[in-house]
């Protein structure tokens, strides 16, 4: 496995694992119980809370691929409940608890955390505001919680790199969604129809994916040797499988 293949496999596994947490009804239910009438407002304020008491427009620019007006409204609604810092801390605690419930028993959680932390520590934060914010949060001590939190931070790293590449590509967020996961996904991010399908930019979108993988491989190389990178890819993929097997419905 090349460094680029290892970085891509790790990124895919971690993106999907953290998405299980972010999109699970249990997480939404906990947000409602914590005072967020709209759980999506809890998600936006929680994930974006590390940016501090920013405006909705600023946060929408960082989230990049959401419809800006909708995202800004969710942010304003969410930070009114607990403030930015309070929302971020709650979301961080939810991440840890989700890991404790559904990752415990997976192989190599300590290694996922240790290798992931090496990458986090070695990566420059320039142009990566969500990654910079989340990497400053204190990690849980127990393996399952810590592993999912590390995966969360690395997911924000890859997302930030990808968003930077997307921004300079000239592909709109709607076109990117349509080229990636299609109509339903585009709707989920708040965009109104009709949707431009971006068919004429398919090759350019493939170049963005390549650029993201190339940069992530450079980041991995600065922190890990090839054996460690391959180990992280394998353990992350196994952790995703364990999470999917353990999470109810």
Say whether the peptide bond before residue 194 is cis (omega within 30 degrees of 0): yes
Q: Which domain holds residue 50?
A: 3-246
The pLDDT value recorded for residue 85 is 97
* 249: pLDDT strictly greater than 90: no
| pLDDT tens digits along 202-231 | 999 999 999 999 999 999 999 999 999 999
Nearest to 148 by CA among 65, 235, 215: 235
**Percentage of the chain exceeding pLDDT 70:** 100
Query: How many structural domains is the chain composed of?
Result: 1
| pLDDT tens digits along 14-59 | 999 999 999 999 999 999 999 999 999 999 999 999 999 999 999 9
| pLDDT tens digits along 117-168 | 999 999 999 999 999 999 999 999 999 999 999 999 999 999 999 999 999 9
| pLDDT tens digits along 81-109 | 999 999 999 999 999 999 999 999 899 99
Give the predicted TM-score (pTM) of the model.
0.97
């Amino acid at each position: 496995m090349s460094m680029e293949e290892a970085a891509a496999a790790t990124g895919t596994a971690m993106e999907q694992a953290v998405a299980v947490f972010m999109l699970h009804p249990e997480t939404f239910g906990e947000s409602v119980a914590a005072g967020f009438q709209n759980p999506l407002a809890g998600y936006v304020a929680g994930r974006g809370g590390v940016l501090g008491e920013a405006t909705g427009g600023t946060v929408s620019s960082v989230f990049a691929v959401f419809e800006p007006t909708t995202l800004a409204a969710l942010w304003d609604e969410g930070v009114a409940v607990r403030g930015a810092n309070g929302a971020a801390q709650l979301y961080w605690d939810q991440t840890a608890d989700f890991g404790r419930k559904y990752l415990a028993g997976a192989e190599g959680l300590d290694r996922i955390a240790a290798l992931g932390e090496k990458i986090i520590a070695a990566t420059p934060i320039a142009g990566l505001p969500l990654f910079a914010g989340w990497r400053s949060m204190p990690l849980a001590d127990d393996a399952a919680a810590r592993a999912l939190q590390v995966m969360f931070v690395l997911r924000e790293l890859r997302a930030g790199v990808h968003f930077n590449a997307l921004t300079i590509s000239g592909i709109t967020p709607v076109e990117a969604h349509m080229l990636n996961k299609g109509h339903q996904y585009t709707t989920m991010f708040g965009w109104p129809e009709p949707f431009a399908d971006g068919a004429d930019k398919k090759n350019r979108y493939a170049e963005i994916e390549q650029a993201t993988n190339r940069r992530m491989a450079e980041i991995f190389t600065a922190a890990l040797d090839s054996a460690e990178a391959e180990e992280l890819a394998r353990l992350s993929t196994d952790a995703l499988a364990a999470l999917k097997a353990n999470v109810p419905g």
